[in-house]
Amino acid sequence: MNKSRSELGQIIRGIARDPLGLMGLIIVGTIVFCAIFAAWIVPYDPVAMNIQARLEGPSLAHPLGTDQLGRDTFSRVIMGGQVALKVALPAVFGAMAIGLTLGMIAGYGPKWLDNLLMLLFDTIRSFPTVMFALAVVALVGPSLQTVVFVVMATSIPTYGRVARTQTLTLRNSEFILAERSMGASMARILGVHMLPNIVGVLAVLAAMDIPTVIALEAGLSFLGLGVKPPTPSWGALLKDGYALIRQTPWLVVGGGLPIILATLGFTFLGESLRDVVDPKLRKQR
């Protein structure tokens, strides 16, 4: 426990030393903080309408103005962060867990199973993501769960492939051979010895994947096929902003900037994390 805590500290210090990493850390930290304490931060109820104050520009009372129903854009942006993370985190961790399991099975199991799983991964990857998402939404209808499912389904292959490659490399390493010759069970070899060596790489992938997921959620909500109104999602803000683009620029700005910031933050953090956790990866890409 003590050891892992100091390791975590070391990783964070390593990231903070890199200027881009530090920027990523600050941005992501702010977003996470705002998402957790959103209910206390927002100056207005994000779904409360106020017809007298429609489509106002930025002012002291409304830092980012108001929308066509007089709802405070700033409050909706803050709450939107919560929605974005609610989709991104379960989707990314779910995909990572399933991809890790399948990838390790593919790498360690019999050849036919490996071939089958790889074909499955290749097949999922052969759908253009948004097209696949649209097909699923058309079938089962738009909702937060649909978005999470689509994101998970489409990103499992990435984690699976990396986990498989890592497993294949480790499979013939000496400490695994030693463990096998002593009669360790497969579960023990995979769970105790291989897992810790694979999880780090996948964590880096996950950090870099979060922005893609946030963008996909926002994109689907923008098309009106993601989270349903009046839930304040960044994509929904952009949808309203697009409809009113000739009346006010502030909805597009208010919905667009947080997405760009979040993407930048997580990307910087992911890149920096990669360099700290595994400098070798930098070359592979």
The Cα 68–Cα 65 span in angstroms is 10
The residues near 84 (Cβ < 8 Å, ≥ 6 apart) are 35, 214, 217, 218, 233, 234, 262
When the beta carbons of 44 and 234 are compared against another protein, the nearer one is 234
Asked if 243 touches another protein (CB under 8 A), the answer is no
For another protein, what does the binding mask look like between residues 82 and 121, x meaning CB under 8 A?
-------------------------------------xx-
Q: Which amino acid is at 189?
A: I
78 closest CA partner among 36, 35, 112: 35
Q: How far is the CB of 32 from another protein (least distance, A)?
A: 18
The Cα 205–Cα 160 span in angstroms is 11
Q: How many residues in the shown chain lie near another protein by CB under 8 A?
A: 45
Subset of residues 16 to 35 that bind another protein, contact rule: CB under 8 A? 20
Q: How far is the CB of 241 from another protein (least distance, A)?
A: 7
Torsion of CA 57, 27, 226, 210, to 10 degrees: 160
When the beta carbons of 132 and 199 are compared against another protein, the nearer one is 132
Structure tokens given for 34: 């705002």
Residues that bind another protein (CB under 8 A): 20, 119-120, 122-123, 125-132, 134-140, 211, 215, 218-219, 222-223, 225, 238, 241-242, 245-246, 249, 252-253, 256, 259-260, 263-264, 267-268, 271, 283, 285
